[in-house]
Amino acid sequence: MLVPEMYRPRRASDVVDVVRSNPLALVAGNGAETPFATHAPVVIDRMAAESDAAESLVGATMLGHMNRRNEHWEALRATRSVLAVFQGPHFYISPVAYEQRPAAPTWNFITVHLRGRIETIPGGEPTLEVVTATVQALEKVAGTAWDMTDSLDYFRRIQPGVGAFRMHVESVEAMFKLSQEHSPEVRRSIREHLVARGGGPSRDLAEAMWAEELATDDRGLAPSPSDGR
């Protein structure tokens, strides 16, 4: 992935936050004729999450799973490397949002690419441990705190159809494309336009843009009233 210097994240912790907050990853790897790509929940291993390695993700261990009937699962068992893509907030930016001419439309987004070694996990209790760890991580993201205790026997019944894996992260690429090339006034106008679009992805992107402004407070910007600050 080409990442211009201005779009590189300023803090490693921001990259970790994207991975934790957007755990449905696009897992990609080589196939016999074409690449395989599967959307699957991929979370930071609990032990890694408690270590310093989680601050940069390089050296961390990720846990994931997919359906064993998926051809991709067999490919994972035969390969040594994998790419996991975590997509953060993104939204189309129309020139309507700019207060200048000429202008060109663009797409603002945040994405994180993790590459590493893949390790498939045996069925039975080792796979069940991955599933339960994943549920705990996802419940934390969702803020629902569901107690899975009464469902563990059901988990065991469906576990034979689950292909679990570990990913040992070897490299991290992240791109935070948030209109950094524009002046503070144009960035403010874009944020206001996104907020006016309502909730959901547009507001999430506006929040990400505002966080980028705070990370570079040497610009001396004050919050805009329309940002709801």
Query: What digits encode the pLDDT tens for the residues 33-52?
Result: 889 999 999 999 965 555 54
Instruction: Between 222 and 173, name the one with better pLDDT.
Output: 173
Whether pLDDT at 55 is above 70: no
Query: What mean pLDDT is predicted for residues 21-27?
Result: 97
Cα 173 from Cα 39, distance rounded (Å) = 19
Q: What is the pTM of this model?
A: 0.89
Domains of the chain: 5-183 (2.30.110.10)
Cα 131 from Cα 163, distance rounded (Å) = 10
Q: What angle do CA 112, 116, 119 make, to 5 degrees?
A: 130
Give residue for tokens 């690449």.
Answer: 35
Any long-range contacts for 119-127 (C-beta under 8 Å, 24+ apart)?
119/165, 119/166, 119/167, 119/168, 120/76, 120/77, 120/163, 120/164, 120/165, 121/164, 121/165, 121/166, 123/159, 123/160, 123/162, 124/159, 126/164, 127/65, 127/159, 127/162, 127/163, 127/164
Question: Around Cβ 115, how many Cβ atoms within 10 Å?
Answer: 15
Query: What digits encode the pLDDT tens for the residues 183-211?
Result: 999 999 999 999 998 888 999 999 999 99
